Each structure stands twice: as C-alpha cells, then as structure tokens.
Structure 1
Amino acid sequence: MNFDLAALQAIGWAVDEDGTPLDSAWREALAAHPQARPVRVSEQHRSGYIVADAPDTAFPVESLPEWQRPRFPAEQRPGVGDWLLIEDLDTPPPRVVALLPRRTAIKRGAAGDHYRQQLIAANVDTVFVVCGLDADFNPRRIERYLLLVGGGAEPVVVLTKADQAMAEGADAVPEAVETLAALAEQGVAVRSVNAKDPDSVAALNPWLKAGRTVVLVGSSGAGKSTLTNTLLGFEKMKTGAVRESDARGRHTTTHRALIPLPSGACLIDTPGMRELKPTGEEDVAENFADVEAIAAQCRFRDCAHAREPGCGVRAAIEAGTLDPQRAASYRKLSDEVAGAADKLAGRRAENAQARVLGKAVNKRLDDKNGRR
C-alpha cells in the first residue's frame, strides 16, 4: 500500500490486524485502482470537496462531472464522512477515481414538496442526538431523530445544559431522563452533561475511542458547538446565545465538517435541523419496539389504534402502561414513513422508466448510424 495506514486509521479508516480494510467492497475498489490512495471528505462544497489523509492535513479535490448533473441523486454524491480514492497526487489537483461504498449513512427527506433525500453524514459509528435541558427539550423530536439514524450507527441521546437544569430544580435532570425511559429500555444510552465542563463531558468517552466517528445532530441552540469545543479542548466552533422565549438558537454551525479529536476519534458537527422528514427507508418497528409489542395484542391485524374494539394500544394507554404521547408519535411517524416510502417507490419507478427509454433512444441512434 502506498499510503500511511496509521494516519488513515486516525481519521476512521477501518482495518484488521494486518492492515486489510474490513469492508470487502473497499478491498475490491483498491484492487481495481492499485495506484490510488484513500482520503476522507471533511467538507463538502458546491463544486468540490476538502479531503484529508491524516488528522492534520486538508486539501481540495474536484467533483466528478457526473456528480454535478442535475438529475444525479443528491444522496449519492459524496458527503462529509465519505471515503474517496484519488490518483495523480504529484500533479494537483488530484483526480477522484471512486467513491467507496458507505458502511453507514444518516439521511433525511429534504425540505420541499418533491421527494429528495439529503445525506447528513456517512461512515459514522455513533450518532449523538443532542437536546438541551431547557425549552429545547422535546422527547417527540428525539424520537424523530432516532428514527432517522438507523443503518447500523449506534444512537446516544446527549442531554446538554444539565448545569442550568439543576440550577432551576434538583429534580429536572432525573425527570428528563425518566421521560426517555422507553428509549433506555430499548438499549438507547441517555447521558446528561454540562457541555462546558470537560469532567462532565467525559461521560461520552466510551463512544469517542481512537478510530471511531461520531456525528452530532440536534436543533440550533442545543449545545452542539459548545460540546465540540469542550471535546477539542479549545474554542474552534462559534457559539451563540439562545432566545429565552423558546430556547431557539441561531445557526452558528453553517456547514458540516469532520474534526479530529485529541482522543483519536473523529467528530462531525452539523447545522441545526428544524425539519426532520423521513426518507421512507426507516424502520418504525425497530424504534418503537415497546409500542409494536403492545400493538401485537390488538384484536385486528390492521388496527389503526383509534376506535377499533379490542385495541391493545388504547388499553395500555388507559391502564397507564403506555405514554399516550409516545403512542401518538408512533402513529404519526408510521404514517409519515409510509407516505415517504410511496414517494420513494414512485421515484425509483420513474428512474427505471427513464433508463429504459434512454436505452431505446440509444439503440435507435445506433441502428440509424449503422452501429451494432
């Protein structure tokens, strides 16, 4: 291999003991491009990318022409956290020859009426869902973020501003954690921290080991940039105050960026997201296993949990064993995912038809020009 393996491992390159990439598709891509070397996307821009092959390096590469075509799916373009193979390092700018398959991908439905997917981050091991213990605290939004995670990355709910919550009332933090008890019962870790205090933030160390990649997601003002600065040990990210009326913050982070941490882990900070639309690929059952187990007791298989007789979900709500707001969130997100899945199927059908028509046109042109 003609690259520094240790430097790549420091920014998340996953290999076994003898240095072989763990992902078989990555091994195949390297074999197909023996002169290429891997780099990781640390920033995404309109016409190109900033990439790194070590924690302390960064240089630009240009986008491939096909990635810039209007009809090219946005979620299939490289994003922060992706790995590229590049060649011609001696004659800048380097040439991109391949985008390596993603081990994990965090996506959402893009804003607007037309169905599109937006990549949030790629090849991450852990997702820190950051929520402030102030007016920003919203269990239903946390559930929505967790729905979008999926795909093999481990979610961890990080409750920031624990110091403010404790100042307002000693029971504030335990009550917030208790509110998320359904998540904890499904194995989702919940940690409350003071994002300004390194000793408090140390509670996140188990997910920040060398070679691991973590992405921060959460609304503006939740404390993501403050948390990033504390993990770095210096003020790199701009932070701002939030409005007292609703705890909303300004977008102090304006673009996604991959940042190496002193622990050897990599952190991807993201701008605050206020619209969290499903892509249609999410698994509602996985995120609401508790509600699904209760729903299995309904008399009718297609129970909508509204007015049907013998509804297990309504019975559990009446018995006080199921939070009515969590049940409502389950129904709402199930409907949204089903609607997005229908749009996704429609888009795939349109793309398949366009490919068939394109092949037919090319065949007619070949026949007309005497090409076979």
Structure 2
Amino acid sequence: MHAIGWPSAVAGGEVPEDWRAPLAAHPRARPARVVEQHRTGYLVAEGPSAGFPVESPPEWQRATLPPEQRAAVGDWVLLEGARIVALLPRRTVIKRGAAGEHYRQQVIAANVDVVLVVCGLDADFNPRRIERYLLLVRGGGAEPVVVLTKADKPGADVDAALAALADVAGAEVPVLAVNAKERDSVAALEAWLRPGVSAVLVGSSGAGKSTLTNTLLGSERMKTAAVRESDERGRHTTTHRALIPLPSGACLIDTPGMRELKPTGEEDVAENFADIEALAEQCRFRDCSHAREPGCAVRAAIEVGQLAPQRFASYLKLRDEVAGAAGQLAHRKAQNAEQKVAGKASNKRLDDKYGKR
C-alpha cells in the first residue's frame, strides 16, 4: 500500500481522526485507492499491482450530486466485495471550476503531497497560466513545484524564464528546468518523489507531462506526441487521469492537458500575490483601489519598474474571478440548505399524514 501513497500516519498504526467514523460504520470493508477514473466507472488498487474495476454507490450516479462529492483519482475509498461503500475524507485536493455557465467544481486529484506544474520552454511558456495553477494548487493544501521542460530545445532561454517567474513563484516555490527525455536531468525531481509520496502532474497539452512520466518510470508506458510545428500547440495524448507507482517508491498521477483554469472561489488571492499585498499596505488610504488615488504605493511601484504591469493586471483579474466564483459557491450552498429544509418539511408532512413517528 505504501507504493500507492498509503498515508504515513496509517502506516504507523495511527488512523486519521476523520477516517474513524467511516471505518467504524463499515467494519468489514477494506481500503483501496482510486487509480483511474473513466466516464463509465473507476479502477482501484490495493497495492502496486494493476487496478481492478469496482461499482460506485448509487447516489454517485445522480446528476444532482456535486461532482466534488464523488471519488477522483487519488481518493481512498472503502470496498465491500467489488463495490465502493464510502469515500474517505481527503487530506488535500486540487480542484478547478468546471467549464460552463453553472457553478460546478472538478477535482483534478486528491490526497497528493506535491503538484508538479509542468510548462514547456517553447510557445507553451506562459507565466500568467503558471500563476493560475499556483493559485489553484495552494488552495488545495499540496506543495507546488514548477517544472520547465524542453530546456534542451534550441532557443530555450532558461535564465529569462526563471527571471519571468521570480515574482510569480516567489522564494518559496521551487522552479526547475529539465530535459524531460533525459534521466539524469529529471533526477532533479527525486527530492520531491520520495517513497510514499503522492505527486500529480498538471499543465497544458504538449508541455511534456507524459514524456516526464515515461522517463521517471524508465519505460515508454505513456503515449506521447510531438507538438504542431505551425503553432507549437500540444495534442492531447493523455485522455484520462491515472495513478502510477514509480520505481522510487512514490506514485505519480498523470492528467490530461487543461486549457481552462477557472477558480472555485475557495482560493486565497492574497497568499498568491504577497508582493502586491505588501505594497498595498504602504498605500496612503486603507481602501485604496490602486487606480488614481494619491499616495498609492502599488501604482508607484509600477511606475519605477518594481512591479510588472502584467502581474498587477493578473492580480486584478484573478481577484475578480475568485470573488465571482465565491459568490456562486455561496449561492449554491444556500440553495442546498433550502432544499434540505424543504425535504425535511415534506418528510414530516408525510409522517404526520400516515402516522409514522
């Protein structure tokens, strides 16, 4: 179980507090981890051997159930036979707002320790997209690491890329440039892929996630494809999320490329833009909007080149997006609460009518 990320506390004989209730409710059940998620169901594993299909609970089939309440790759579940009977509480979760007009959350991976944000040093390189990934990752409780692939590509300017990410990543987020095809180069990631660690790869199509996975595995297990020469855009080669044990003893979740990164409304924008927040504290007015107010430290920093205008524009955009998503989330929670109250009232009327107590 350790090879597929079994929690260290459990391995040491200590059951997490929030696992005790579901374990007590299903004393005959055994734990397993979701290693693949498909539209038609799940594959789970009880060790490093191949996964096997299981039946999900009936309530997971209901369209009204929020997607984040169903299992995702990386989740721990309880099995009775070949049927999932419970979803164990998550330690960490990486989510995004799902595409579409209605508010929904999509779980990218659960119970991961490290998120490797992969970006190619070609036309794929985009500091603003990396900024979004870090916003989502930090909100989920895992440790982010930015991995710049294609460092061997002619014209790749590693120093310029590192400089462009200095404010985006900050001092606390590691940024590594690697050749995803070379084992010696990829060895730089070993510090984050120790035995028992669960990691997930995120990034756009063509960034080199599957190539990186193959190199870490030491075999060509994942399908790869070259980017289009016309625009260097990637092609989708990974079609579903999958958890894979690595020779190092860690496990890795490879994910399909994501082009849309909508916040869920649960993110902390201030944490991801600590440089701008620190400047804002120096503004003359506490409620400064950083537009035309006198004594604005943020605008002054932009004028002298201390703060990049693009980063400030991204801050404003993400702040508004997170606020909008938070409003939608609050509305959804209020609707769910009203439906529960209405359901209880309806059940009470039926009980009163038919004499049930």
Equivalent residue number for residue 55 of structure 2: 62
Matches within 5 A, 1:67-106: 67-88=60-81, 94-106=82-94
Label 1:51 to 1:330 Cα distance change in 2 as closer, same or farther (>3 A).
same
State the Cα distance separating 1:308 from its structure 2 match: 2.1
Shift of 1:200: 0.3
Secondary structure of the 1:367 match is: helix
Query: 1:122 corresponds to which residue?
Result: 110
- Please tell me whether residue 107 in structure 1 is matched to residue 92 in structure 2: no
What is the letter of the counterpart of residue 90 of structure 2? R
Q: Does 79-88 or 242-251 show the bigger shift?
A: 242-251
Matches of 2:34 and 2:65, distance apart in 1: 19
In 1, distance between residues paired with 2:115 and 2:71? 19
1:291 lines up with 2:276 in the alignment = yes
Conserved in 2, the CA contact under 8 Å of 1:47 and 1:62? no
Provide the rounded CA distance (Å) in 1 between the counterparts of 2:248 and 2:91. Answer: 22
May I ask how many residue pairs the two structures share in their alignment? 356
- How far off its partner does 1:299 sit? 2.1
User: What code does the residue aligned with 2:203 have?
Assistant: G
What does residue range 144-155 of structure 1 map to in structure 2 within 5 Å? 144-150=132-138, 151-155=140-144
* Partner SS state of residue 66, structure 1: helix
Q: Could you tell me whether the CA contact under 8 Å between 2:8 and 2:196 is conserved in 1?
A: no
1:320 offset after TM fit, Å? 1.3
| Aligned with 1:264 (options 249, 253, 260) | 249
RMSD of equivalent CA atoms: 1.4
Question: Does 2:25 match 1:32?
Answer: yes
Q: Identify which range, 319-328 or 75-84, moves more after superposition.
A: 319-328
Map of 2:238 onto structure 1 = 253
Query: Which of 286, 299, 322 is equivalent to 1:337?
Result: 322
Contact 1:38 1:84 in 2 (8 A): yes
Q: CA deviation at 1:246?
A: 2.8
Asked whether 1:239 is paired with 2:224, we answer yes
Q: Does the CA contact (< 8 Å) of 1:14 and 1:22 recur in 2?
A: no
Aligned: 1:23 with 2:16: yes
Aligned-pair distance for 1:27? Answer: 3.7
Look up the match of 2:155: 168
TM normalised by structure 1 equals: 0.93
Instruction: Please tell me whether the aligned partners of residues 242 and 250 of structure 1 are also in contact (alpha carbons under 8 angstroms).
Output: yes
Q: Which residue of 1 aligns with 2:290?
A: 305
> What is the aligned partner in structure 2 of residue 157 from structure 1?
146
* Residue of structure 1 in register with 2:183 after alignment: 198
Show structure 2 runs of 5+ residues with no match. none
Question: Would you say the 8 A contact 1:37–1:85 is kept in 2?
Answer: yes
Residue range with higher mean Cα deviation, 303-312 or 230-239 = 303-312
Which digits, 9 at most, give the CA deviation of each residue in 1:212-233, with x for residues without a partner?
A: 0111000011000110110110
Whether contact under 8 Å (1:279, 1:340) holds in the other structure is: yes
Task: Return the offset for 1:315.
Answer: 0.6
In 2, Cα distance between the equivalents of 1:46 and 1:152?
A: 27
- 1:300 deviates by 2.4
Structure 1: runs of 5+ lacking an equivalent: 1-7, 89-93
If the length of structure 2 is used for normalisation, what is the TM-score?
0.96
2:192 aligns with 207
Name the counterpart of 1:5: none
Retained in 1: the 8 A contact 2:32–2:45?
yes
Equivalent-residue separation in structure 2 for 1:66 and 1:256 (angstroms):
22
User: Is 1:140 paired with 2:133?
Assistant: no
Q: Taking structure 1 as reference, are residues 132 and 18 closer, same or farther at Cα in structure 2, changes over 3 Å only?
A: closer
1:274 alignment partner in structure 2: 259
Kept in 1, the 8 Å contact 2:10–2:16? The answer is no
Measure the CA separation in 1 of the matches of 2:180 and 2:291.
42
Please name the residue that 1:45 is paired with. Answer: 38
Amino acid at match of 1:101: P
Q: Distance in 2 between matches of 1:10 and 1:222?
A: 26
Q: Given residue 260 of structure 1, which amino acid in structure 2 is its aligned partner?
A: P
Equivalent in 177, 181, 184 of residue 162 of structure 2: 177
Distance in structure 1 (CA, Å) of the matches to 2:316 and 2:122: 27
Cα distance in 2 for residues equivalent to 1:22 and 1:192: 38
Deviation at 1:58, TM superposition (A): 1.2
What is the CA–CA distance in structure 2 between the aligned matches of 1:18 and 1:215, rounded to whole Å? 21
Code of the aligned partner of 2:106: Q
Counterpart of 2:98, as a letter, is: A
Alpha carbons of structure 1 residues 154 and 18: separation in structure 2 relative to 1, 3 Å: closer
Match of 2:201 among 197, 216, 232: 216
Paired residues of 1:15 and 1:22 also in contact (CA < 8 A): no
Percent of pairs with identical residues: 73
Deviations 1:243-284 (A, max 9, x none): 233321111000101011111111000000001000000011
Contact 2:92 2:111 in 1 (8 A): yes
Question: Cα deviation per residue 1:298-336 (whole Å; 9 max; x = unaligned)?
Answer: 222232222222211111111211111111111110010
Residues 297 and 312 in structure 1, CA contact (< 8 A), matched pair in contact too: yes
Q: Is the 8 A contact 1:14 1:21 kept in 2?
A: no
1:321-358 deviations in whole A, cap 9, x for unaligned? 11111111111100100000001001111111111111
